[in-house]
A and B are shown apart, each in its own frame.
Chain A
Amino acid sequence: MSAEPILELRNVHSGYGTIKALKGVSLKVYPGEVVAIIGANGAGKSTTLMTICGIIAAEKGEVLYDGKKINKVSPEKLPIKGLCQVPEGRRIFPRLSVEENLILGAFHRKDQEGINKDIEYMYSLFPILGERCKQHGGTLSGGEQQMLAIARALMTQPKVLLLDEPSLGLAPIIIQQIFDIIKDINEKNGTTILLVEQNANLALQAATRGYVLETGEITLEDKADALLHNPEIRKAYLGE
């Protein structure tokens, strides 16, 4: 691990109007890692990711990416810098075709050839998307949509990929597939991954390190293995 974190949150507060969702979250993500944030419903996991991406403005604290403060950077500039999110619920553009969804992932890129090559690469990574390339995104099944969402994010050529609940609403076998792909991306492309999950077991198995988020605050931080074997975690999040 290199010493400089690629993504860092320092005492970040944010929320929706009068409701405070994050009350001083600090975390670090180092290049090449897979970091998992686990926590219950409403703990502020998605808010954390949305705050990193600038969709929700941080009221206090700093978000640092690559050593630079990105609090004031407007959200659409972040994918250009290599920070990309796969949001909760996939958010595929329902009335655009699969191919158009992928092309939009590369919206800021100008190298037409590279884009075409990447699309082909995505189709080889997710063959089902290739079969359905002319179909509207909204007509795909949940698992296919999740694959499309990840593929679309990869089209931005991210250095850091933020994944929000990739297992949400999917069948176990599909979930396993998705997590295999996530590991693959991390290992082959060296993409750093910040993963948010309710399914703590899966997330910690895939991750190198983990954070536990409870009602807007980080309560625990450790190596993923250690967290997996932490009796309190096992009791609270793994149902033992």
Chain B
Amino acid sequence: MEYFIQQLINGLTLGGVYALIALGYTMVYGVIQLINFAHGEFFAAGGYMGVIVLSYFAGLGYMETHPVFCLTASFALSMAFCAYLAIGVEKIAYKPLRKESRLAALLSALGMSIFLSNGLMLTQGVYDKAYPSELFQGGLSFGLVTVSYLQMLIVCLTGALLVGLNILVFKTKIGMAMRATAQDKTMSALVSISSNRIISLTFAIGAGLAAAAGIMVGLYYGSVRYDMGFVPGIKAFAAAVLGGIGNITGAMVGGLIIGMVEIFGAGYLSGEYKDVFAFIILIAVLYFKPTGIMGENIDDTRV
């Protein structure tokens, strides 16, 4: 039983991370019907920016004196960096292809993914980069179940970001404009919504969330690597599809499910095949219920 609860907490942590990445896929798909293959690279870039900023502060010696400030700054800077990256990527590789065939845009996205991950490799090196590890030692024990402080931070921060995003998308005027753009770009233009700006914004938000996930993963596993975006990227996409692509709530639920399945699959079935479970879910969902569990209409996608 303790083992089960422990796994549940681990699954929650991982699932939250997947949910954050999946949101980027689902939002971009909702607005321009493109699978943004480069999204996993935004996640990796976020992890790298986190390690760069944190090590910089550690080098200055601020980590001991102002840990909260350092952490906040690293999250903020890396999210901003990835948003900045994503806006440019969209302008260069996707915007000119918006009227072309989907295959062209998809291939361009794939090329961008390869380009970015190798760009990271060239600037940051082939080897793993370690996070400064003084932060977050220990945790709370409840009997045999341990929840590390880091896990608490990840779960809380993920929750806060998800709530914030929900408010942004469903309660504000700009969120309304995002949903409108996803539903009908011509009509949005006729009511003076600039679809270019909304698309940039969508990319920026998605990449920002992915960057946050990147730092969390970096902190959690202690290091980052240039190709770390690939596998979580696919899994997060599986999560987005599971929840019904284009559906924001669906992506959150889907991420949690994929995370849980992975942790429990690794814990109870086989650790070596843990990566396979997400793919099997992806294929099964697409085969039996291509609209996802939250029931999304394929012809009429939206944020």
Contacts and interface: CB of A to CB of B under 8 A. Distances in A.
A and B touch in the complex (CB under 8 A): yes
Interface of A: 53, 55, 74-80, 84-85, 87, 91, 93-96, 100, 103-105, 107-108, 152, 156
B133 interface: no
Given A76-B195, A94-B300, A96-B179, A107 B187 contact: no
The 3 closest A-B pairs by CB, nearest first: A79-B192, A91-B187, A75-B189
B189 A156 contact: no
B194 interface: yes
B216 interface: no
A93 B180 contact: yes
Contact of A107 (B179, B184, B193, B302): B193
A79 B191 contact: yes
B166 interface: no
A87 B190 contact: yes
A84 B190 contact: yes
A80 B194 CA distance: 12
Contacts of A96: 176, 179-180, 183
Given A91-B184, A93-B179, A94-B183, A107 B190 contact: no
A75 B187 contact: no
B66 interface: no
B186 interface: yes
16 contacts: A53-B190, A55-B186, A74-B189, A77-B192, A79-B190, A84-B191, A87-B190, A93-B184, A95-B179, A95-B183, A103-B176, A104-B173, A104-B176, A104-B180, A104-B193, A107-B173
Contacts of B302: 95
A91 B300 contact: no
Given A76-B189, A80-B192, A91-B190, 9 more contacts: A75-B189, A78-B192, A84-B191, A87-B190, A91-B186, A94-B183, A96-B180, A105-B191, A156-B191
Nearest to B303: A95
A75 B190 CA distance: 7
Given A87-B187, A91-B184, A93-B180, A107 B300 contact: no
A203 B197 CA distance: 38
Interface in B168-202: 173, 176-177, 179-180, 183-184, 186-195
Contacts of A100: 176
A76 B180 contact: no
Contacts of A75: 189-190
Interface string B125-139: 000000000000000
A104 B193 CA distance: 8
Interface in B249-299: none
Contacts of B191: 79, 84, 104-105, 107, 152, 156
A200 B51 CA distance: 69
Nearest to A84: B190
A104 B186 CA distance: 13
A87 B186 contact: yes
A81 to B, nearest CB: 9
B192 A76 contact: yes
B199 to A, nearest CB: 13
A78 to B, nearest CB: 7
A74 B302 CA distance: 23
A86 B237 CA distance: 37
A131 B180 CA distance: 22
A77 B173 CA distance: 18
A144 B166 CA distance: 29
Contact of A156 (B173, B177, B192): B192
A169 B187 CA distance: 19
Contacts of B193: 76, 104, 107
B173 A103 contact: yes
A85 B173 contact: no
Nearest to A54: B189
Contacts of B192: 76-80, 107-108, 156
A9 to B, nearest CB: 18
Contacts of B176: 96, 100, 103-104
A104 B179 CA distance: 11
A91 B194 CA distance: 17
A84 to B, nearest CB: 7
Q: Name which of B180, B183, B190 has the most chain A CB atoms within 10 A of its CB.
A: B190
A74 B194 contact: yes
B187 to A, nearest CB: 4
B249 to A, nearest CB: 13
A210 to B, nearest CB: 24
A95 B246 CA distance: 12
Contacts of A80: 192
B169 to A, nearest CB: 12
Nearest to B181: A93
Contacts of B300: 94-95
B173 A93 contact: no
A93 B187 contact: yes
A113 to B, nearest CB: 15
B90 to A, nearest CB: 18
